Amino acid sequence: MIADASIFVGIALLLFFIGLAGFIKSKSAIRMLIAVELMLNSANINFAIFALYNDVGFVTGQIAVIISIALAAAEAAVGLGIILSVYRNHGTVEATDFQSLKG
């Protein structure tokens, strides 16, 4: 069994803030999508570690991680579809150029 969960929670926190900084600083929609994936992976680490150290059992954490991975895959597929559609119509994936999409 793992000795201390605080190390993994710290790694997940660092991963989340790297993803948050990448999302805020990035101008490219693809980089924003990757940053969101980093934040979702940090949540997956927390699900697994908290399930391991609580009385709910490790299977519950694994189920939560699998559901989160499935949602992340669906989010990536829809996000990439939108990005490709915008690229075909506008010729760029820069988030600052998406102002023309406002209704």
With respect to residue 102, please indicate whether it lies within any of the assigned structural domains. no
Q: What is the pLDDT along the chain (103 residues), one digit of tens a residue?
A: 555 778 888 999 999 999 999 999 998 888 999 999 999 999 999 888 888 777 666 677 788 889 999 999 999 999 899 889 888 888 888 877 776 666 5
With respect to residue 67, please indicate whether it lies within any of the assigned structural domains. yes
At residue 11, the pLDDT reads 92
Nearest of 14, 62, 19 to residue 37 by alpha carbon: 19
With respect to residue 22, please indicate whether it lies within any of the assigned structural domains. yes
At residue 74, the pLDDT reads 93
CA distance linking residue 32 with residue 97, whole number of Å: 14
Nearest of 73, 46, 71 to residue 61 by alpha carbon: 46
Residue range(s) defining the domain that contains residue 67: 5-97
Instruction: Quote the number of domains for the chain.
Output: 1
Q: Where residue 66 sits, what CATH number does that domain have?
A: 1.10.287.3510
| Model pTM score | 0.80
At residue 100, the pLDDT reads 63
At residue 101, the pLDDT reads 61
With respect to residue 93, please indicate whether it lies within any of the assigned structural domains. yes
